[in-house]
Amino acid sequence: MAYFLLKTEPSEYSFESLRRDGSCVWEGVSNATALIHLRSMKKGDVALIYHTGDEKAIVGSAVVTKPAYEDPKRPGRNDRDEPKFAVVDLKPGKAAKTPVTLAEIKADTRFAEFPLVTQGRLSVMPVVPSLAKILLERTGL
């Protein structure tokens, strides 16, 4: 079971939207690096949901209910015969008791190499177990 961080602009689709809907197809990822990470997501993996824009914080968690598959809205395969545009299905987890902000993460030297810090635009990234543990504790997830 692996951990990931998924970014979303809450005015487009928020953690609250996911809780309201009860499930969702996590779609719209087009960046090549982000897609590599998305394609590696397996059923049961946990996604930390991060809100960009005004909030800039991890606000909740979600669980992968269907591993990466070809985006039905954007069909096609890449040259490795993988889905060119992948999506996963999610169900909501808990809301963070204490959202952990980007500023807090940046201030913690243990996160110096975390992609959220080093690759500001990456929208899907793995979270190594040691950092996941820290984030789970600090968010209360």
Binding residues for DNA, per CB under 7 A? Answer: 7, 9, 30-33, 52-53, 56, 102-103, 106, 118-123
Smallest distance from DNA to CB 118, Å: 7
> Closest CB to DNA among 1 and 85?
85
**Shortest Cβ 41–DNA spacing (Å):** 17
CB contact at 8 A, 116 and 125 = yes
Distance CA 68, CA 90 (A): 11
31 or 40: whose CB is closer to DNA?
A: 31
Using the minimum distance from each CB to DNA, give the nearer residue, 70 or 104: 104
Distances (CA, A) of 91 to 31, 32, 67, 95, 112: 23, 24, 12, 12, 30
Q: Which residues of 122-137 are buried (b: 16+ CB within 10 A; e: fewer)?
A: ebbbbbeeebbebbbe
CB of 58 to DNA, least distance (A): 11
Contacts of 39 (CB under 8 A, 6+ apart): 68, 82, 83, 86
Of 102 and 131, the one with the shorter C-beta distance to DNA is 102
For the bound state, the minimum distance from the C-beta of residue 53 to DNA, rounded and expressed in Å, comes to 6
Closest CA to 54 of 12, 94, 20: 12
**Least distance in angstroms from the C-beta of 131 to DNA:** 17
Q: Which is nearer to DNA, 55 or 70 (CB)?
A: 55
